Chain A
Amino acid sequence: MLSNLSVLINAPVFNISLIVDGVLIGAIFALAAYGLALVWGVTSVKNLAQGDFVIMGGYCAWYATYLGVPPLLGLPIAMVVMALFGWVTFHLVVKHVIHRDLFTSLLATFGMAMVIEAGLNLGFGADVQSVNPGFGSYYLFGGLVSISKMKLIAFVLAGLLAVGIVIFMKSSRMGRAIRATAQDPRAARVLGIDTEKVYAFTFTLNAAICGAAGALVVMIWVIHPFIGVSYSIRSFVIVTAAGLGNLPGVIAVGLAMGILEQFGGFIMGAQYEQAIVVLLLLLVLVVRQIQQARVRQVVQ
């Protein structure tokens, strides 16, 4: 561990590699977190299956590639398939728990997570999968820093998607309806907005976002049926740290998380990946408690 740390100190150029990688993957974390925040803010449901939706999206893209579709097309395919899946699960499960207490919705989404993981395992096996779109890398600083072109493309795509969603939220009718429902569902209903439709749409949109994130993940990293949990935790950590409805915050924290994980993984070793993610979670929660204690409130 110390030897890794000294590498970073003695050869600063490696820091650049870690930072760049961190930012590029952090964008995907931010994307998934945004979806979670969206559902949370509008329906109050904390979707514990968020990470599994992402991984399922990854499998959609992977399978499409397996069937011969060019890798980048996997993205829109994953989005469409996941949107459909999201719509179905909304009507089967989520719809019934929206108006119940928070713990009920937590457990219900957890049940969904379990079914998805088990389903993916049964369907695709537990092996690690990945898609190599074969784009190669850029090399900087005399070959010491390599930036995968696919990661750059993923970053750009994630950014475009985010911009697209923001524009949609601001200018479209449904976008306004969503924002209104997030602020005050009763008032929205009184003004004629069909909140049930809004809930369904929001959840479906989130599923599509997850699909996109997953398609990007499978192209720049790896997936397997049980890695969804860490993405769920990451999304939750980002939303807790940044706060609901704070999109720039979500982006910033997401990128920071990506960087932190890269450094942590490099210094301590890859087997610490899960541990780092969970420790970040506990850290964020403890810090929140301390902040809230100053105003004599609790984290709720």
Chain B
Amino acid sequence: MSVQEASRFADERAAVPSGTLGQKAARFKPLGYAGLLAACAAVPFVFPGYTNTASVLLLMVIFALAWDVQGGQMGYNSLGNIFFFGAGMYISAVFQIGLWTDVGAYTRPDGLVKATFTAQQYYIGLGVGFIASGILSAVLAIAFGWIVFGLRGPYFAIGSWGVAVAAGELLSTVEWVGGGGGIAMPAFPGDPGFRKLLFYYMMLAVAVATFAFLRWLYTTRFGLALNAIRDDEEKAEAMGIHTTRYKTLAWTISAFFLGFSGAIFGNIVAFIDPRNVAFPTLTFGIYMVLMVLLGGKGTLWGPIIGAVVFDVIKEVTWTYFLGWQNVVLGLLIIVIVVFFEQGIVGSIKEWRPEWFGIRVVGKAEPATRAEMAAASKAEAAE
């Protein structure tokens, strides 16, 4: 077939059967997104007491989205992405303090040397630290990818987890950043109400950016390549795909957004320590995975829905089951993993595949391209 003939059919492709739910909903999409954004922006004013809780919820959304790039879309179940969260946290802290004073002196465990920062110093430090957290986390991802990229399956999961744990353990021996005692973040030069708002909106900005970026990313060739690696990496290699390149990039993208989230969270809690706050592999690190499993791996909205549901459940159990949190959490993990493998969105996909544009056997369609051309010619003639 000549090239001429081929492009004549290009128009036919645009004539996708209309009337599916996806099609109808598409018209309302921009409105929907605007509404959602407005709702999120309004939260601190409608529920002022819950601003910090909402910030954590947004953090969970970022966690889930960032993990899914690598875990759900690419199939590399990492238990160690929390490494970048902690890295971002420490990077930001070092910049926030280090721009104006000696970090080593500031973090001394005896706390004798206490620096105070002017408002200007604080905000500049915050800005620089924030930007550095994402960028340097991404650099770390590229630098350390080699440690784990020859591993698959359970070895990758455990190896990545080992990297995160090692980071926590090693940082707790480095006195320059406060060792096991951690770092007290610079005091916020403003009123607490404003502080909550600032960090909430920063977290919201990162969450929105993450979502928007991934939404675009999954429509590109890159998105398809990730899925190919997930479905059959050996096949992808045998077809000449630069798998290492894609794996590194996915890991780097995940690191980028997680770094930012770590910087913001470190400032919210105002005190960071290597084992419990920066590299909490057994809590936040695992939550990342669970939220995505609960919501549906490899989908765009699955991680978000999973994050929201998970966070709500967690908040409820924390309030009413004090002391038994981990038991409930452990049981929740088991239940999610055993019974919710598809996730919420995954189950909906199975139940109503048409909503997602997945064609099911039996729908009538032109048999060949020639027939399709003939049919549209006939239509045009009428």
* Residues of A in contact with B (beta carbons under 8 Å apart): 46, 93, 96-97, 100, 102-104, 106-108, 110-119, 121-122, 229, 233, 236, 240, 271-272, 274-275, 278-279, 281-282, 285-286, 288-290, 292-293, 298-300
Query: Are A275's CB and B166's CB within 8 A?
Result: yes
Stretch of B48-56, B253-261, B322-330 lying at the A interface:
B322-330
CA distance A276 to B157 in the complex (A): 19
Interface residues of B, dominant DSSP: helix
A278 touches B162 (CB 8 A): yes
Known: A107-B333, A274-B169, A275-B169. 12 other contacts (CB 8 A): A104-B337, A108-B333, A114-B329, A115-B327, A115-B331, A116-B330, A236-B158, A272-B169, A275-B173, A288-B151, A298-B151, A300-B152
Which residues of chain B from 289 to 315 have any CB-CB distance to chain A below 8 Å in the complex?
289-290, 293
Q: Are the CB atoms of A114 and B326 closer together than 8 Å?
A: yes
Residues of B that sit less than 8 Å from A by CB: 77, 147-148, 150-155, 157-159, 162-163, 165-166, 169-170, 173, 180, 282, 286, 289-290, 293, 323-327, 329-334, 337-338, 341
A-B contact pairs, 9 of them (CB 8 A): A108-B333, A111-B331, A114-B326, A118-B327, A229-B282, A281-B162, A285-B147, A299-B150, A299-B155
B169 pairs with A278, CB closer than 8 A: yes
**A122 CB contact (under 8 Å) in B159, B324, B329:** B324
Residue of A nearest to B155 (CB): A299
Which residues of A have CB within 8 Å of B162? 233, 278, 281-282, 285
- Given the known inter-chain contacts A104-B341, A108-B338, please indicate yes or no for A272 contacting B173, CB distance below 8 A: yes
Contact yes or no, B163 A282, CB < 8 A: yes
Complex Cα distance, B152 from A103, in Å, reads 11
**A281: chain B residues within 8 A (beta carbon):** 158-159, 162
B155 and A96 contact, CB distance less than 8 A: no
**By DSSP majority rule, is chain A's interface helix, strand, loop, or mixed?**
helix
Q: B163 — which chain A residues lie within 8 A by C-beta?
A: 282
Task: Give the shortest distance, in Å, between A73 (CB) and chain B (any CB).
Answer: 30
CB A294 to nearest CB in B, in angstroms, measures: 11
Q: Which residues of B contact A117 (CB under 8 A)?
A: 326
Bound state CA distance, A102 and B326, in angstroms? 23
Q: B338 is contacted by which of A46, A93, A240, A292 (Cβ under 8 Å)?
A: A93
Q: Closest 5 CB pairs between A and B? A: A114-B330, A111-B333, A289-B150, A118-B326, A115-B330
Name the A residues within 8 Å of B334 (CB-CB). 93, 108, 111-112, 115
Please measure, in the bound complex, the distance between the C-alpha atom of A100 and the C-alpha atom of B342, giving whole angstroms: 12
What's the least CB distance linking B46 to chain A, in Å? 35
| Chain A nearest CB, measured from B337 CB (Å) | 4
Residue from B77, B147, B152, B282 within 8 A of A298 (CB atoms): B152
Q: Min CB distance, B120 to chain A, in Å?
A: 39
Known: A114-B329, A117-B326. A106 touches B154 (CB 8 A): yes
Kindly report which residue of chain B lies nearest to residue A117, judged by CB atoms.
B326
Docked CA distance A292–B324 (Å): 44
In the bound assembly, the distance between CA atoms of A229 and B282 in angstroms comes to 10
Known interface pairs A108-B338, A114-B326, A279-B166. Does A289 touch B151 (Cβ–Cβ under 8 Å)?
Answer: yes
